[in-house]
Amino acid sequence: MKKLVFATNNPHKIDEIRHLLGSTYDICGLSDLGFTEDIPENQTTLEGNALEKARFVYRKFGLSCFADDTGLEIDALGSEPGVFSARYAGEEKSSLKNIEKVLSKMHDAEDRHARFRCVIALIADEKEHVFEGTVTGEILSSPVGDFGFGYDSIFKADGYDVSFAQMSLAEKSKISHRAKAIEKLKEFLRTGK
């Protein structure tokens, strides 16, 4: 089983990635390596942040690793929160406060179109690779559901009647932005293309 470091301390993301990649890979998070600090995310794009995190871990541990950065882009807010999704309402990265801020800014918005974008940066054998996944949908007027994390409770994907937070991990994993990016990563790990 090949070991891959996922450059995150977020247990929800680690569970989701393990589910998506299956048992072919031994996925460990940063806490498994004894590293619990936040990695800097100073770039202005999702791709830049993903690469910055992967490079940090690769330099520090010398292990094949991947990192992701994910953003919610809302048309009515000029693609905000985007690269600032995790800290939209402040540096404490409170999902509840982030959701409140989005809903407050969208109070009377008619256009509720949005997309989740996930960019994964992989560093293996000293080479960098980038994969992207997107899912489109809309922002609900209030949170619904008990599963998921982040903005899942206010995002409903196109073609579905429930929020991401109302879906099981298996259901969400079939359509999510992260699932689409991971599929590209899996294909690359399997074929080298």
Q: Catalogue the active-site residues.
A: 69
Q: Alpha carbon 32 to chain centroid distance? A: 20
Rounded distance, CA 13 to CA 7, Å? 10
Residue 82 backbone zone (phi > 0: left; psi -120 to 50: alpha; other: beta): left
What are the strands, taking DSSP E only, across 87-174?
Answer: 113-124, 127-139, 155-157
What one-character DSSP code corresponds to residue 126? T
Contact at 8 Å (CB) between 153 and 145? yes
Helices (H), 24-155: 46-61, 95-105
Q: Report the candidate in 47, 100, 14 with the shortest Cα–Cα distance to residue 92.
A: 100
CB-count burial class (<10 Å; 0-12, 13-18, 19+) for 63: middle
- Work out the number of other CB atoms within 10 angstroms of the CB of residue 158: 11
